[in-house]
Amino acid sequence: MAETKAEVRARVRAWMKGADPAALRASDDALFERFLTLPELARAETVLLFHGMGAEPDTARLIAPLLDLGKTVALPRCMPERAMEARTVTAAAVLVRHRYGMLEPGEDCPLLSKDKIELILVPGLAFDKNGYRLGQGGGYYDRYLENFTGHTAALCRDALLMDAVPREAHDRPVELVVTERRILRRV
């Protein structure tokens, strides 16, 4: 691959920094509307979201609709040694700021076993048409997704959907990439 992960991350972050907030909000609206229609979501009782930050989709806006649909909703909590755990949240859950800047559930939110999760919404700076992602570089999700048997989906702005992202042997693609205009399913 011609470009390294660091080069692509820098390019995507520059795009995100210059993005118009109103355009991002409209993009979020379209992404969320499409995500909420997924049959995989309809069948899932338990969903692990991520809490978007910066120019990432504002996924906190999905918590209330998912709870209204009767779903159990969890958010990730970063642990030592680049590990991650899932904790269930309610609309009233108090989130705490992690040192990386994102909001995550506190220890008072109930721990959720990975085998109870049916759908994980996986974050990424950019995705490609085959479901591979370019993450922030910490490897938290790569580790967490090992041996995960449920469904995986991603929200990707059309502007950040690439033909191919740089990847390594341990990178695992998501099954579904949801953009403002379409849903790409990995076959």
Contact 161, 154 (CB under 8 A): no
Annotated binding-site residues for ATP read: 5-9, 133-141
Annotated binding-site residues for substrate read: 56
Annotated binding-site residues read: 5-9, 56, 133-141
Count of CB atoms within 10 A of residue 10's CB? 12
